[in-house]
């Protein structure tokens, strides 16, 4: 099978595709026309440099995916023209006037702050609260085994509650109509890459037959982060329990706080290890690799949906733009089918710097470039005939 270093991400009514050389975003506007944008990568790490080292590269890619994801989605909304339709709130207007900054920057900051609050609430404070609630029930009913829960057991329970919250969150947002359309574009992105790597002609009809599941999808990565965080924090807690006197001082407020801070500092290690596990599992067809991939592929039944032919057309246009990139940044709007001109015009533009890419790695939170080995009935056989790596 053909291999490529192109990965992607579903955006609002479109698809972003990215290679080490640059990034393309294509969205379908309400009038049926396709708005396209391509920006060259401004900075790439040289192969063998520190940011490309194993485990370290996962940390860099994780941070990059977090910082660039919001900008990419915001840009897709701008290409749709939705920034003109949504009226900023009074609070956002007040912040813009008080701080003397553009309204769009204020909106982005507010969105990021709300997202961080939601993440902390769901994945940090809720699991801690549930475990503390179990301990309170143990004290209420006189169950010493629950009231005086071992710290290692408490850590495992928090991790399991965190994983459950993540699964419920994915299931909940998948029921939202607008998010459902994003998940359809997510499926279109996967199918397009599978079609290309299967060496089929890139047409919506061919891509429709291919798998919508990917072994290196960002969904797989997020699940691995959750699972490996449970494993590493449990091991860390067990090692701390070996320290003489730890059982006595772990209940002291200051020391317990420092212990939690130390666990937070494990996050970069978790990100790096998860990235390497993801790459290794995607590159192998052994039984262990299949077991590691299985939960993430199963989760993609929530985060991807079968796209229609129009969505596949958008994903293919984005893929083609990044596969054969122009020499410069550009913005291009292709008229709707009924209004297409013979020679649509290109307009050059200087876009925002594209996210940092390594020469041999794409951001793990972005979608992978490998064709899936897991398929549904009707998926293209070539897309599932063997392994591929970026």
Amino acid 305: pLDDT: 95
Residue 307's pLDDT band (cuts 50, 70, 90): very high
Amino acid 57: pLDDT: 87
Whole-number average pLDDT of the chain? 78
State percent of the chain over pLDDT 90.
25
Amino acid 59: pLDDT: 86
Residue 385's pLDDT band (cuts 50, 70, 90): very low
Long-range contacts of 198-206 (CB under 8 A, 24+ apart): 198/1, 198/2, 198/371, 198/380, 198/382, 198/383, 199/1, 199/2, 199/382, 200/380, 200/382, 202/316, 202/319, 202/320, 203/316, 204/309, 204/310, 204/312, 204/313, 204/316, 205/309, 206/380
Across 25-34, 48-57, 221-230, which has the greatest mean pLDDT? Answer: 25-34
How confident is the model over 100-126, as pLDDT tens digits?
A: 667 667 667 777 788 878 888 888 889
Predicted TM-score (pTM) of this structure: 0.76
Q: For the residues 199-228, what does the mean pLDDT come to?
A: 89
Amino acid 372: pLDDT: 37
Amino acid 358: pLDDT: 37
Amino acid 381: pLDDT: 37
> Phi and psi at residue 328, in whole multiples of 5°?
-145, 165
Q: For the residues 54-61, what does the mean pLDDT come to?
A: 85
Across 180-184, 232-236, 356-360, which has the greatest mean pLDDT? Answer: 180-184
76: how many CB neighbours lie within 10 A of its CB? 25
Q: For tokens 């709300």, what's the residue? A: 114
Amino acid 207: pLDDT: 95
Residue 63's pLDDT band (cuts 50, 70, 90): confident
How confident is the model over 151-171, as pLDDT tens digits?
A: 788 888 988 999 899 899 989
């Amino acid at each position: 099978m053909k291999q490529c270093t192109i990965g992607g991400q579903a955006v609002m009514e479109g698809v972003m595709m990215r290679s080490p050389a640059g990034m393309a975003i294509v969205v379908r506007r309400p009038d049926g026309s396709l708005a396209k944008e391509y920006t060259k990568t401004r900075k790439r790490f040289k192969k063998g440099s520190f940011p490309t080292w194993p485990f370290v590269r996962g940390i860099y890619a994780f941070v990059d995916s977090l910082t660039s994801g919001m900008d990419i989605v915001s840009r897709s909304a701008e290409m749709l023209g939705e920034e003109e339709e949504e009226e900023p709130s009074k609070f956002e207007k007040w912040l813009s006037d008080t701080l003397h900054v553009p309204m769009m920057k204020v909106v982005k900051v507010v969105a990021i702050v709300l997202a961080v609050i939601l993440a902390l609430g769901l994945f940090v404070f809720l699991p801690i609260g549930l475990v503390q609630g179990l301990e309170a029930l143990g004290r209420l009913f006189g169950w010493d085994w629950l009231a005086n829960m071992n710290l290692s057991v408490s850590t495992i329970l928090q991790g399991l509650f965190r994983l459950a919250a993540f699964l419920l969150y994915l299931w909940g947002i998948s029921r939202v109509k607008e998010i459902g359309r994003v998940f359809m574009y997510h499926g279109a992105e996967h199918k397009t890459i599978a079609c290309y790597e299967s060496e089929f002609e890139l047409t919506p009809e061919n891509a429709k037959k291919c798998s919508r599941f990917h072994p290196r999808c960002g969904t797989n990565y997020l699940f691995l982060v959750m699972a490996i965080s449970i494993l590493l924090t449990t091991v860390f807690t067990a090692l701390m329990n070996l320290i003489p006197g730890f059982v006595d001082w772990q209940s002291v407020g200051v020391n317990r706080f420092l212990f939690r801070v130390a666990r937070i500092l494990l996050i970069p290690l978790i990100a790096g290890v998860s990235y390497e596990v993801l790459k290794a599992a995607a590159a192998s067809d052994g039984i262990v690799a299949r077991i590691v991939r299985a939960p993430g592929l199963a989760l993609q039944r929530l985060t991807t949906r079968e796209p229609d032919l129009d969505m596949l057309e958008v994903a293919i246009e984005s893929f083609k733009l990044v596969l054969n990139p122009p020499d410069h940044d550009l913005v291009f709007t292709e008229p709707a089918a009924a209004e297409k001109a013979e020679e649509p015009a290109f307009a050059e533009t200087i876009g925002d710097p594209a996210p940092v890419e390594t020469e041999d790695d794409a951001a793990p939170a972005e979608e992978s470039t490998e064709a899936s080995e897991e398929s549904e009935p009707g998926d293209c056989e070539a897309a599932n005939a063997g392994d591929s790596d970026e």
